[in-house]
Amino acid sequence: MDWVNAELKPFFDNIDTSWNPTFLVSRKGESVPDLYRRGELFMDAFIRRINEGGFGGDHERVLLVSHAATVITLAQALLGDTAIGRELRVGCCTLSTFDRHETAAQEDTIGSDVWKARGKLATADFLTNGVERDWGMADIETKNGVVVEDDGVPGTNGEEDIDFGLQKWNAHSASRM
């Protein structure tokens, strides 16, 4: 991730260059089932990382910013509800808020027993025009679970794809951003 830090550091001086990512995505694309699995793997690992102090201290709130497909898979993973993947539409700058159930065990990370949505998912009540440019999983065209016309990052077809998936980290490589 050195190149990311080198590229971003001049613009964002608060970037902690010791940061290690929790999950890296394959540059060669992924199937829709793999996308959902990635959401589950990431949320489980990310929450465990927070619980183990992997971000340098206690956190009451965490803000994740992402693209619609990833937001949908993360919401589905947190709430353990597969209908979310079929029904949720996420627009530009929409917001979903999740609260941990007070009765959830600390070691539990994802699922309906652990998280609940606070209000409506992907809301835009705070935006002048409400939800705009919304997108849902129903908008993609798939064949055998693979998105049609999406081969991943152009030019990577012949390259070996290494170091993707869950990444190793320790509590000493915490972000202070």
Comparison of pLDDT for 138 and 98, the residue scoring more: 98
3-state secondary structure of 144: coil
Paired residues of 135 in beta bridges: 90
CA–CA distance, 114 with 126 (Å, rounded to integer)? 27
pTM across the whole model:
0.75
Q: What is the per-residue DSSP string for 43-84?
A: HHHHHHHHHTTTTSS--S-------HHHHHHHHHHHHT-THH
Comparison of pLDDT for 56 and 173, the residue scoring more: 56
At 52-106, the pLDDT tens digits run: 876 666 677 788 888 999 999 999 999 999 999 889 999 999 999 999 999 998 8
Taking the chain, what is the end-to-end CA distance rounded to the nearest angstrom?
A: 16
Ordered structural domains, the chain, with CATH: 30-150 (3.40.50.1240)
